[in-house]
Amino acid sequence: MKDNTTIIANAKKTIIAESEAIANLANFIDSNFVNAVKYIHNFKGRVIITGVGKSANIATKIVATFNSTGTPAVFMHAADAIHGDLGNVLDDDVVLCISKSGNTPEIKVLIPLIKNYGNKIIAITGNVDSYLGKNADFTLNTYVEKEACPNNLAPTTSTTAQLVMGDALAVCLLELKGFTSKDFAKYHPGGALGKRLYLRVSDLIVNNELPKVAKNDTIAKVIIEMSEKRLGVTAVVEGDKVLGIITDGDIRRMLSKTTKIDDFVAEDIMSKNPKTIHKDAMAIDALDALENSSITQILAVDDSNKYAGVVHLHDLIKEGIF
């Protein structure tokens, strides 16, 4: 029990220490940050992001964030840079260099080479008075009083601060670019996130049957149609126009009152003017419609209210949207 208490206390202490350090970063946002954002926004090249050790790991994540939010970025390990990878740096590129101390040997070798190429340097460092801090064109301060590590050695708080500063840059840049959810979808076509942004109703209904009956069709025919198409629902149509909808719930409610199904036709038990969604609407909008109305199926139509198909909740679950 004592061990459990100690573990919980250490975890909380780590989280609190890092959160306080991150909050303090707001005090370091100044004209250097503003000018760095404006420079990246206005130039035509890429952001080459470099570092060594744990800072290199943070650099790869910032690269991914930049690329996914419309700012082209490339990772270059600081150690590899001086052994051939400097060829990654083109004339129009800006180099974002990440280092807690700003005085590592790799950085001291790399900075003069980049400056000789004429490329601008943005520093993310915890020591603005370091070699990196003094030689960068824009220096972003990520100073932390101490690491969360009890020995004040393992990069913990400092790397979190670097990561957050990178996120701040990325968010400011996407705001300046007017980066929208449609832009985001271009870079995230895979997975549930991408599907929420690009998948449409028409992409879902193409895989489903098209259950439909006429208003004067018998209940027996309605049941057969629903059973064969296996969507738990059928549209009631006149030509191609939607008149109503019959669900398996409607069938059950009718049978709970009478078993004389020959006395009824589709029109007698259908729900008139059912909720519909346009076939070109986003799939996520179909999910909202289902949730808001507490239903599991919705009919899709085109501009002229022509019946186009059925979206079932299971379709959205299958695609990972629900």
pLDDT in tens, 176-232: 988 876 677 666 666 656 666 678 899 989 889 999 999 999 999 999 999 999 898
For the chain, which residues make up each domain, given as ranges? 2-179, 201-318
Query: Interior CA angle at 235 toward 234 and 237, to 5°?
Result: 140
pLDDT at 147 over 70: yes
Q: What is the mean pLDDT of the chain?
A: 90
Report angle CA 115, 87, 96 to the nearest 5 degrees: 50
**What is the reported pLDDT for 261?**
84
C-alpha radius of gyration, the chain, whole number = 30
Asked which of 75-79, 197-201, 282-286 is least confident by mean pLDDT, the reply is 197-201
Burial 139-175 (b: 16+ CB within 10 A, else e): bbbbbbeebbeeeeeebbbbbbbbbbbbebbbebbbe
User: Strands 94-99, 138-141: parallel, antiparallel or unpaired by DSSP?
Assistant: unpaired
Burial class (CB in 10 A: 0-12, 13-18, 19+), 229: middle
**Residue 258 above 90 pLDDT?**
no
β partners of residue 233: 247
55: Cβ–Cβ under 8 A, 6 or more apart, which residues?
A: 98, 99, 100, 155, 159, 162
Q: What pLDDT, on the 0 to 100 scale, is given for residue 156?
A: 93
pLDDT of residue 38: 96
Return the SS3 of 186.
helix
50 is written with which tokens? 């470099």
| Alpha-carbon distances of 118 from 61, 71, 109, 140, rounded to whole Å | 26, 21, 16, 20
Query: What digits encode the pLDDT tens for the residues 104-124?
Result: 999 999 999 999 999 999 999
The DSSP 8-state label assigned to residue 304 in this structure reads T
Q: Is 41 annotated as a binding residue?
A: no
pLDDT tens profile 15-67: 999 999 999 999 999 999 999 999 999 988 999 999 999 999 999 999 999 99
pLDDT score of 11 more than 90: yes
| 133 pLDDT above the threshold of 70 | yes
Report yes or no: 142 and 126 within 8 Å, Cβ to Cβ: yes
pTM of the full structure: 0.68
Structural contact between residues 124 and 96, judged by C-beta atoms closer than 8 angstroms: yes
Structure tokens at 280: 């070109």
Write down the CATH superfamily of domain 2-179: Glucose-6-phosphate isomerase like protein; domain 1 (3.40.50.10490)
**Interior angle at CA 142, CA 134 and CA 42, nearest 5:** 70
- What is the pLDDT at residue 185? 65
Provide the β-strand partners of residue 200.
Answer: 282
| Residue-by-residue DSSP string for 48-99 | EEEESTHHHHHHHHHHHHHHHTT--EEEEEHHHHTTTGGGG--TT-EEEEEE
Q: What gap in Å lies between CA 102 and CA 134, rounded to an integer?
A: 9
Query: Is 80 exceeded by the pLDDT of residue 4?
Result: yes
Judged against a pLDDT cut of 70, whether residue 283 lies above it is answered with yes
pLDDT (0 to 100) of residue 194: 64
Query: CATH top-level class for 201-318?
Result: alpha beta
